[in-house]
Structure 1
Amino acid sequence: MDRIRIRGGNRLNGTIPISGAKNAALPLMIVSLLTPGTLSLSNVPRLADVRLLQRILQNHGIDIMVAGKRAGQNGMMGDVMHLTAREIADTTAPYELVSRMRASFWVLGPLLARCGEAKVSLPGGCAIGTRPVDMHLMAMEKLGAEIAIEGGYVIARARKGLKGAHIAFDKVSVGATHAALMAAVMADGDTVIENAAAEPEIGDVAECLVKMGAKIEGIHTPTLRIRGVTSLSGAEHSVIPDRIETGTYAMCVGMTGGDVLLKDANAGHLAAVFDVMRRAGIGVEAMNEGVRIHRNGHALAPVKVDTSPYPGFPTDCQAQLMALMSMAGGTSMIRETIFENRFMHVQELARLGADIHLHGDTAEVRGVKKLTGAPVMATDLRASVSLVIAGLAAEGETLINRVYHLDRGFETLEEKLSACGADVSRLAGG
Structure 2
Amino acid sequence: MEGYRIRGGRPLEGEVEISGAKNAALPLLAASVLTRGENTFSSVPEISDVDSMVKILKGLGCSVKKEKETVTVDASNMSECSIPEEFMKEMRSSVFLAGALLARCGEAVITSPGGCDIGRRPIDIHIKGLESMGARMEKRDGRMIIKGPLLKGTKIRLKYPSVGATENIMLAATGAEGVTVIENSAREPEIEDLQKYINRCGGRISGAGTGRIEIEGGKRLTGCSHRIMGDRIEAGTYMFMALGTGGCIYLKNTEPSHMEYPVRFLKGGGWDIFCRENTITAKGRGSLRGCSFSTAPYPGFPTDLHPQTAAFLAVRGRDCEIEENIFEKRFKYAKELIKMGADIEISGKKVIIGDNKILCGREVEAEDLRGGAALIMAGLMAEGTTTVGNTRYIKRGYSRLEEKIRLLGGEITEYVQREP
Question: Counterparts in 2 of 1:255-404, with a 5 A limit?
Answer: 255-288=244-277, 290-296=279-285, 298-404=286-392
Correspondence for 1:151:
141
Is 1:423 matched with 2:402? no
User: What letter is aligned with 1:396?
Assistant: G
RMSD: 1.3
Correspondence for 1:247:
236
**Deviating more after overlay: 285-294 vs 28-37:** 285-294
Deviation at 1:312, TM superposition (A): 0.6
Unaligned runs of 5+ in 2: none
**Alpha-carbon distance between aligned partners in 2 of 1:178 and 1:361, rounded to the nearest angstrom:** 28
**Alpha-carbon distance between aligned partners in 1 of 2:118 and 2:142, rounded to the nearest angstrom:** 20
Q: Are the aligned partners of 2:303 and 2:324 in contact in 1 as well (CA < 8 Å)?
A: yes
Q: Are the aligned partners of 2:342 and 2:357 in contact in 1 as well (CA < 8 Å)?
A: no
Correspondence for 2:217:
228
Correspondence for 1:10:
10
Q: Are the aligned partners of 1:280 and 1:303 in contact in 2 as well (CA < 8 Å)?
A: no
Q: Are the aligned partners of 1:307 and 1:335 in contact in 2 as well (CA < 8 Å)?
A: yes
User: What letter is aligned with 1:196?
Assistant: S
User: What letter is aligned with 2:3?
Assistant: R
User: What letter is aligned with 1:348?
Assistant: E
**Alpha-carbon distance between aligned partners in 2 of 1:129 and 1:377, rounded to the nearest angstrom:** 18
Partner SS, residue 327 of structure 2? coil
**Deviating more after overlay: 298-307 vs 143-152:** 298-307
Q: Are the aligned partners of 2:255 and 2:277 in contact in 1 as well (CA < 8 Å)?
A: no
Deviation at 1:6, TM superposition (A): 1.0
**Alpha-carbon distance between aligned partners in 1 of 2:360 and 2:378, rounded to the nearest angstrom:** 9
Is 1:134 matched with 2:124? yes
**Alpha-carbon distance between aligned partners in 2 of 1:329 and 1:275, rounded to the nearest angstrom:** 15
Q: Are the aligned partners of 1:258 and 1:295 in contact in 2 as well (CA < 8 Å)?
A: yes
**Alpha-carbon distance between aligned partners in 2 of 1:289 and 1:116, rounded to the nearest angstrom:** 40
TM-score w.r.t. the length of structure 1 is: 0.95
Deviation at 1:277, TM superposition (A): 1.9
**Deviating more after overlay: 107-116 vs 87-96:** 87-96
Partner SS, residue 320 of structure 2? strand
Deviation at 1:414, TM superposition (A): 1.3
Q: Are the aligned partners of 2:154 and 2:179 in contact in 1 as well (CA < 8 Å)?
A: yes
**Alpha-carbon distance between aligned partners in 2 of 1:396 and 1:22, rounded to the nearest angstrom:** 32
Number of paired residues?
418
Partner SS, residue 331 of structure 2? coil
Partner SS, residue 326 of structure 1? helix
**Alpha-carbon distance between aligned partners in 2 of 1:406 and 1:385, rounded to the nearest angstrom:** 6
**Deviating more after overlay: 268-277 vs 369-378:** 268-277
Correspondence for 2:46:
46
User: What letter is aligned with 2:95?
Assistant: F
Q: Are the aligned partners of 1:279 and 1:301 in contact in 2 as well (CA < 8 Å)?
A: no
Correspondence for 1:62:
62
Unaligned runs of 5+ in 1: 68-77
**Alpha-carbon distance between aligned partners in 2 of 1:289 and 1:228, rounded to the nearest angstrom:** 33
User: What letter is aligned with 2:13?
Assistant: N
Deviation at 1:302, TM superposition (A): 4.7
**Deviating more after overlay: 417-426 vs 298-307:** 298-307
Partner SS, residue 99 of structure 1? helix
Correspondence for 1:22:
22
Question: Counterparts in 2 of 1:80-229, with a 5 A limit?
Answer: 80-159=70-149, 161-229=150-218
**Alpha-carbon distance between aligned partners in 2 of 1:307 and 1:329, rounded to the nearest angstrom:** 18
**Alpha-carbon distance between aligned partners in 2 of 1:308 and 1:253, rounded to the nearest angstrom:** 25
Partner SS, residue 43 of structure 2? strand
Cα pair distance change 1:289/1:401, threshold 3 Å: same
Correspondence for 1:72:
none
**Alpha-carbon distance between aligned partners in 2 of 1:253 and 1:24, rounded to the nearest angstrom:** 25
User: What letter is aligned with 1:281?
Assistant: G
TM-score w.r.t. the length of structure 2 is: 0.97
User: What letter is aligned with 1:361?
Assistant: K
Deviation at 1:352, TM superposition (A): 0.6
**Alpha-carbon distance between aligned partners in 1 of 2:157 and 2:174, rounded to the nearest angstrom:** 17
Q: Are the aligned partners of 1:20 and 1:43 in contact in 2 as well (CA < 8 Å)?
A: yes
Cα pair distance change 1:34/1:11, threshold 3 Å: same
Correspondence for 1:75:
none
**Alpha-carbon distance between aligned partners in 1 of 2:82 and 2:269, rounded to the nearest angstrom:** 49
User: What letter is aligned with 2:168?
Assistant: A
User: What letter is aligned with 2:273?
Assistant: V
**Alpha-carbon distance between aligned partners in 2 of 1:302 and 1:12, rounded to the nearest angstrom:** 26
**Deviating more after overlay: 51-60 vs 273-282:** 273-282
**Alpha-carbon distance between aligned partners in 2 of 1:110 and 1:413, rounded to the nearest angstrom:** 31
**Alpha-carbon distance between aligned partners in 1 of 2:316 and 2:381, rounded to the nearest angstrom:** 12
Deviation at 1:106, TM superposition (A): 1.1
